[in-house]
Structure 1
Amino acid sequence: MSDRTFMRSGLIGLFLLGTFGLTACDSETGDTVAVIPPAHNVATPVESGQAIAREDQKQPRLESLDALDDQPLPRRQLDIQSWQTEGGARVLFVEARELPMFDLRLTFAAGSSQDGDTPGLAMLTNAMLDEGIEGKDVTAIAEGFENLGAEFGNGSYRDMAIASLRSLSAADKREPALQLFSQVVGQPSFPEDSLQRIKNQLLTGFEFQKQNPGKLASLELFKQLYQEHPYAHPSEGTPASIPGIDAAHVRDFHARAYAAGNVVIALVGDLSRSEAEMIAEQVSAALPQGTALPPPDEPSRTSATHEHIDYPSNQTHLLLAQLGIPRGHPDYAALYLGNQILGGGGFGTRLMEEVREKRGLTYGVYSGFSPMQTNGPFMINLQTRADMAEGTLELVQQLVGEFLDKGPTEAELERAKRQTAGSFPLSTASNADIVGQLGSIGFYNLPLSYLEDFMQQVQALSVEDVRAAMNRHLDADGFVIVTAGPEVEQKPLPPPSDKHLEQPSSVPEH
């Protein structure tokens, strides 16, 4: 089996790569430290030279950074149009004529929260989409997209599963690419040999997980935080569940979860409204016909706990979590801004300043809310020296408690607002970015004006607004904690230094 075949599915490739790094939560969860819910972008090919030339003709070159002064970057104005197909799919469309291309993304309520008693079923179904259709095997499908200059992408997460297409918009390329895409997503054949190969890849990944204390801690954290809730089990399934999944299970899941009434269709690019309507109807009609699946129930609150995984290494992984909010919650803007100050904004945050810069205890410490269909997690994660793990954990909890007690300073709040306003244009900088935003808006049933609404809400927030929102949803003593590392004698933490401590040049091995 070639390397290309083994890693052809971005879904499986990401899972295997994820076993070597801390993957405390799915990239789906709209999850995250972006201004807007992460858009689950799949890799896209570089635009053709012709397309880039067309864009250059429209954009004046920037000759001096002085011209920027203190002015914010210009925002891309989006005219979002929305309608519903005959099959019940919700469509969101933005016309963008700058490049002779279009991006199409289908977002299904078909993530692992719909697995039921068979963890991994949603991921396997999504991974099998482009493994075969009538008359074409996996290689012929890949060559079909490649010969048309098109790209297919897919992925499966806790809430959602996606399938995407990027293609040239000229009819002679667009129409055959859409026909192939509609067959792949709507009528996959789920060949037995491909199913067994992907199951073997997942089982291999589970073996790699045993060598990654960060991944082991992440799995245990979701188990402790969500207990019997569907979010508790990993999206990729388990070593016990994967072997028993057969083609009949996958076909049944596809028929239910990939139905036209269970999808949001996002379209951006060089298309008219009438062309977008024809594309949406074509794709919707190719899918199984059915209604939307219900979202998962609200999870129960979990008492504070601390679980430790004994693992031989020089470092200890520290993961702390509490239940956060569902997507669309009215406190989202305040929580986003508060978290940017606490630990989500990289260097300059409270956690990074106190834990890394003043004490040199870690290479990085990060926090984030991951809103989903129901209450996603608020998480803090870091690695530190094993012999200072207990003191570092106490310090992190102390810093959270101080932040909840007093809130941010006016200076921190204004800086976070400026950073948010400055980064906001990047959320719609490309068609791929926009199609991801449309998918999230449609999937989480947000208003079409959501992007502008969010920025207005952020800029109107006060210190007390942020402090009150953080206290409504977080408790300094309410964390579910999982640590992974060796059992060693603990040392006291070094005192904080006014000078930023110099960090080692490389990350230590476990």
Structure 2
Amino acid sequence: MTERTALRRGLLGLTPLLLGALLGVAAPGALAEPVARPALESLAALNGQAPARRTLDIQSWRTAEGARVLFVPAPELPMFDLRLTFAAGSAQDGDAPGLALLTNAMLNEGVPGKDVTAIAQGFEGLGAQFGNGAYRDMAVVSLRSLSAADKRDAALDLFTRVIGQPTFPEDSLARIKNQMLASFEFQKKNPGKLAGDALFARLYGDHPYAHPSDGDEKSVPAIGVERLRAFHAKAYAAGNVVIALVGDLDRSRAEAIAAQVSKALPKGPALPRLPAPKAPEAGTQHIEFPSSQTHLMLAELGIERNDPDWPALYLGNQILGGGGFGTRLMEEVREKRGLTYGVYSGFTGMQARGPFLITLQTRAELSENTLGLVRTILADYLAGGPTQKELNDAKRETAGSFPLSTASNADIVGQLGAIGFYDLPLTYLEDFMAKVQALSVADVKAAMARHLDPNALVIVTVGPKVAQQPLPAPTEKPLEQPLAVPEH
């Protein structure tokens, strides 16, 4: 399960459901000797033009069984990436929270004639990589393989058996359940997880997005092999999948691979679209937790992923709190007052209306006033909109980072999966950048005001109840500049 804890790859701005999960640090590699590198060139040399990026020849068709296929030939490397995206996330759990995740986790635990060890050794021996993961909207299964016929065909044969003929062995199910139950115990000590689960429950009520994607300690033990088989037959059907292919393949070979994959899956149609969530009641919930820091999460219902306002909301949020340093929230909360290590905001576009979320943690004795400050910043931004300079800077940053969204075959296959899953046009990537660059201050202000209401926030705080202190006055050099991720 190499992608079990990985962030979902997808369209630019497709954030995970809890923005706190984005706080990761990669260890830099050390060089034994200095390496000569080309001189850096100024962005000014672009004269306002976006940096070059890969032009994608996206081809699309449907298999005989109804699977949608998106394909981009990329002959530069002798390999290919295959990604299957099913409408088989936890929103399809029904009365068994955790069912989608368990089904996905069990796919590569056994097929006729092979156990989990033999499957892993089979992929490894071919130089291939298998990945899987389950989220609220979707479940993903992926394969990376060399494109040489002997490696490709053997890897595809094993892959199609895994996705089409899982045996769901009882011993593997017991082991994974025990791992999940142990993780539930650990999560009780994680204030960020407690806050996230409570927030989604309040935000979505009786909607399928409300419960945790991994289920809970009551639901998971009751899920048996028959439930997994039934869910696989329904949710992993050929009519319920988007097949994305990128790599050293021509069209005829891509069609043959897609047909092989589609035929291996259970026969069946796409699952019905999710219902629209009801607007929640605004308010604040506090969860007592023994820590020096208090987690603050503020949210309201956002948008569906194919909403036409997405480019304007993406750009507007980059200015508010989605772009790291230099955003309104970071400037006012961290840089001027030293109240937090980081504060972030984001829209998560989903099949149904995903959340708009602001998340941070701060010293417990400053939590209530910090919450008030964040609410004021949001209200002021919605009322006044961005400045022209903020808009220009955000456009320039977006233009500079956008080529990274198609920098590798893995990036491209993730883009294709999201385009197909959320039923976006094949020209989405080009359209997005053109729309972003055409936005005015008035456009962004109007879009943000259409979708956000500072009086409609659902708020969850997790931390200790302590006497509150006033906030320090804003300054260019705060007295206590946070230097690292705070300890709980």
TM class by shorter chain equals over 0.9
Aligned residues of 1:365 and 1:382 also touching (Cα < 8 A): yes
Name the counterpart of 2:277.
299
Name the counterpart of 1:191.
169
Structure 1 residue 504, shift from structure 2 partner:
3.9
- Write the distance in 1 (CA, Å) between the matches of 2:416 and 2:60: 10
Letter in 2 for 1:486: P
Letter in 1 for 2:79: M
Name the counterpart of 2:435.
457
Name the counterpart of 1:396.
374
Structure 1 residue 500, shift from structure 2 partner:
5.6
Aligned residues of 2:315 and 2:395 also touching (Cα < 8 A): yes
Name the counterpart of 1:211.
189
Aligned residues of 2:306 and 2:424 also touching (Cα < 8 A): yes
After superposition, where does 1:481-500 map in structure 2 within 5 Å?
481-499=459-477
- Write the distance in 2 (CA, Å) between the matches of 1:399 and 1:462: 21
- Write the distance in 1 (CA, Å) between the matches of 2:61 and 2:324: 39
- Alignment of 1:129 with 2:107, yes or no, is yes
Name the counterpart of 2:264.
286
RMSD of aligned alpha carbons: 1.7
Name the counterpart of 2:212.
234
- Write the distance in 2 (CA, Å) between the matches of 1:29 and 1:275: 25
Letter in 2 for 1:140: A
- Write the distance in 1 (CA, Å) between the matches of 2:482 and 2:288: 26
Structure 1 residue 417, shift from structure 2 partner:
0.3
Structure 1 residue 184, shift from structure 2 partner:
0.2
Name the counterpart of 1:70.
45
Deviation readout 1:443-498 (Å, 9 max, x if unpaired): 00000000000001100111111111111110111100000000000000001003
- Write the distance in 1 (CA, Å) between the matches of 2:8 and 2:286: 27
Structure 1 residue 296, shift from structure 2 partner:
1.1
Structure 1 residue 9, shift from structure 2 partner:
5.3
Letter in 2 for 1:144: G
Deviation readout 1:230-285 (Å, 9 max, x if unpaired): 00001100111000000000000000000000000000000000000000000000
Change (3 A) 1:102 1:501: farther
Name the counterpart of 2:425.
447
Aligned residues of 2:282 and 2:458 also touching (Cα < 8 A): yes
Change (3 A) 1:337 1:66: closer
Structure 1 residue 10, shift from structure 2 partner:
4.0
Return structure 1 stretches of 4+ with deviation > 6 angstroms: none
Name the counterpart of 1:410.
388
Aligned residues of 1:321 and 1:480 also touching (Cα < 8 A): yes
- Write the distance in 2 (CA, Å) between the matches of 1:63 and 1:316: 46
Change (3 A) 1:324 1:83: same
After superposition, where does 1:245-256 map in structure 2 within 5 Å?
245-256=223-234
- For 1:317, which of 274, 295, 309 is the aligned residue? 295
Structure 1 residue 36, shift from structure 2 partner:
5.4
Letter in 1 for 2:212: P
Name the counterpart of 2:337.
359
Q: Secondary structure at the match of 2:61?
A: strand
- Write the distance in 2 (CA, Å) between the matches of 1:128 and 1:120: 12
**Runs of 5+ in structure 1 lacking a partner?**
1-7, 16-26, 40-60
Aligned residues of 1:119 and 1:233 also touching (Cα < 8 A): yes
Letter in 1 for 2:373: L
- Alignment of 1:268 with 2:243, yes or no, is no
Letter in 2 for 1:483: T
Aligned residues of 2:15 and 2:346 also touching (Cα < 8 A): no
Name the counterpart of 1:104.
82
Q: Secondary structure at the match of 2:269?
A: coil
Aligned residues of 2:10 and 2:417 also touching (Cα < 8 A): no
Name the counterpart of 1:3.
none
- Alignment of 1:503 with 2:481, yes or no, is yes
Name the counterpart of 1:480.
458
Structure 1 residue 503, shift from structure 2 partner:
2.4
- Write the distance in 2 (CA, Å) between the matches of 1:345 and 1:333: 14
Name the counterpart of 2:71.
93
Name the counterpart of 1:377.
355
Aligned residues of 2:85 and 2:421 also touching (Cα < 8 A): yes
Change (3 A) 1:218 1:75: same
Change (3 A) 1:217 1:95: same
Change (3 A) 1:77 1:62: farther
Letter in 1 for 2:111: I
Change (3 A) 1:99 1:29: closer
- Write the distance in 2 (CA, Å) between the matches of 1:410 and 1:213: 38
Letter in 2 for 1:387: E
- Alignment of 1:158 with 2:133, yes or no, is no
Q: Secondary structure at the match of 1:145?
A: helix
Name the counterpart of 1:42.
none
Equivalent pairs: percent with the same residue?
Answer: 67
Change (3 A) 1:38 1:218: closer
Structure 1 residue 317, shift from structure 2 partner:
0.2
- For 1:169, which of 143, 147, 166 is the aligned residue? 147
- Write the distance in 2 (CA, Å) between the matches of 1:381 and 1:236: 21
- Alignment of 1:79 with 2:54, yes or no, is no
- Write the distance in 1 (CA, Å) between the matches of 2:8 and 2:275: 18
- Write the distance in 2 (CA, Å) between the matches of 1:90 and 1:463: 38
**Runs of 5+ in structure 2 lacking a partner?**
18-35
Q: What TM-score do the two structures reach when normalised by structure 1?
A: 0.89
Name the counterpart of 1:468.
446
- Write the distance in 2 (CA, Å) between the matches of 1:369 and 1:35: 8
Deviation readout 1:183-235 (Å, 9 max, x if unpaired): 00111110000011101100000000111111101100000000000000011
Structure 1 residue 307, shift from structure 2 partner:
0.3
Aligned residues of 1:357 and 1:501 also touching (Cα < 8 A): no
Aligned residues of 2:16 and 2:348 also touching (Cα < 8 A): no
- Write the distance in 2 (CA, Å) between the matches of 1:226 and 1:38: 17
Structure 1 residue 38, shift from structure 2 partner:
7.3
Structure 1 residue 74, shift from structure 2 partner:
1.3
- Write the distance in 2 (CA, Å) between the matches of 1:508 and 1:402: 28
Change (3 A) 1:501 1:357: farther
